[in-house]
Amino acid sequence: MVDQRSIRLLPLLLSLMLFEFTFKQQMQQTRLSSGIDVTSIIISGFRRTRLGRQNPQSAVDSLANFTRLVSFNASRFLLPGSVPDWFGQRLLTLQVLDLRSCIVSGVIPLSIGSIPPGHGSLSMLQSLNLSSNRLTSSIPAQLGGLDSLVDLDISSNGLSGSVPLDLRGLRNLRRMVFGNNGLGGALPVGLFPSPSQLRVIVLKNNSFNGNIPEVLWSIPELNLLDLSHNNLRGKLPNSTLNDNAAAAVLNISQNKFYGGLTTMLRSFTDLSGNYFEGTVPNYVQDNAFLSTNCLQNVSRQRNLTQCASFYSERGLSFDNFGRTRKRKQQQKDNRIGCSLRRSWACCATNPVAISGPMKNNTEDDSLQSLDWITRLKIAIGAAEGLSYLHHECTPPLVHRDVQATSKLLDDKFEVRLGSLTEVCAHEDGHQNRITRLLRLPQSSEQGSLGSSTAICAYDVYCFGKVLLGLVTGKMHIGVSSDTQMKEWLEQTLLCISIYEKELVTKILEPSHLVDDDLLEEVWAMAIVARSCLNSKPSRRRR
């Protein structure tokens, strides 16, 4: 018997389209006459004949004879009717089942999964896509027994009810897409296991209510979290937008969240259509959609009546767009109006305190031996130190000497900021004064140094060069001449694209080998570096 792992059966399928033979007649004849074990059947994208479209039939019963079938892909091929219950009883070797956009109706068969896992179900299934069909009823708890499942997409159906807690058994799941259904209730706290492999969570356009489980903010590999258009409510955790920086896209628009906002570090954030109050800094506005809230310094907000009514109905206090906080703010301003020397002593000593033997470990000769995890740790440590100076100190402090040689590492590669002799308070003075403080000639990279954010923005620009050094291994570039720096940046930034992740491999040092998972992290750091190096200071991440 010939062992062939993938057959597309084009002659068979063409005859199917032309003469509307059933799967049973054709597939049995093919298997008996050829002696081939069919492991893959792909009819995705094929169209039925005109007569066939008038009365399409699924006719998939003959699939039961293919006991070694690994993949069945019929996406966008009309297969009206329900998914046979025997799928989970006969196709025990199936790893991929793709029935998206097949106008499948009925319920998701219980036999596909089982609890406990591995008992008479599709225990080897890795990808299940039933999206854009006409499925109804609830999500079977038995799906939680598919412990090999990596991709689960049941979006755009008519599913209802709550999400069963048994789905916490999907510990290898990377993609959970349940959007555009009628699902409701609270999201179970234990639904998202820890540790979790999830990278994509899409629960948009349902009727979920209650608070967001805080575990969602600590999933390290999460790239997309879309909870928009639900009835979720409450305040966001204090760590919401800082600790979960791995989620490049966050969309919680059109819900009922309220309270203040914290710093955002995501590439795309949509918080519109909620009831957030207070003020947000300019750098937050640059990275987020904030319309239709109750914010003081953002355009296109809800009116006072809507906001006051929302907060009053829930017994919450509302700041009335800042009108009731003027006196408290004045008192706060008086308390924090300390001198530059006192601010430096209170704030700058915290991120730079030395608790052990320190050395500069970010030069080229030692960087070659650092693995990617260590480099990422260095980048995060440096970012946290600068963030503290820029956003936690009053007034904000500017480092003014951000480069590889100003980073001190202990024996565990914990980062401390060095070169503190140049630290000064952020100033809003005129352009010539700021230029003099920086002791640098004005250039296009520094941007408009006369703006209120120019000095901090220059710190961010220099930090971007440090990130590129960690990615490329060329830490010495920070002390190169202006001409060399400009040429190197132009060539390097051409290899950093949000659309072509693999381009970044062209700028990696030859000795630095990364797998697919690490490549995504390297690419993400390169994207952040490119944003920091934006020629417009207001567009740089801070």
Using CA of residue 346, residue 348, residue 350, residue 355, what is the dihedral sign?
A: negative
Distance of CA 246 to the CA centre of its chain: 6
Contact, 148 vs 123, CB < 8 A? yes
Contact, 395 vs 343, CB < 8 A? yes
Of the candidates 37, 319, 364, 401, the residue annotated as catalytic is 401
In 3D space, the residue among 49, 40, 51, 113 whose CA is nearest the CA of residue 74 turns out to be: 40
Contact, 255 vs 272, CB < 8 A? no
Contact, 419 vs 493, CB < 8 A? no
Q: Which residues of 326-338 are buried (b: 16+ CB within 10 A; e: fewer)?
A: eeeeeeeeeeeee
Task: Calculate the alpha carbon distances from 10 to 180, 225, 489 in Å.
Answer: 34, 39, 50
Q: At what angle do helices 454-472 and 372-387 cross, to 10 degrees?
A: 170
**Whole-angstrom distance, CA of residue 302 vs CA of residue 273:** 9
**Which positions ≥6 away from 349 have C-beta within 8 Å?**
none
**Whole-angstrom distance, CA of residue 260 vs CA of residue 376:** 30
Using CA of residue 317, residue 320, residue 321, residue 325, what is the dihedral sign?
A: negative
Residue corresponding to tokens 């934006």: 534
Residue corresponding to tokens 């440590």: 381
Q: What angle do CA 537, 541, 542 make, to 5 degrees?
A: 95
Distance of CA 149 to the CA centre of its chain: 20
Active site residue 401: yes
Mind telling me the catalytic residues? Answer: 401
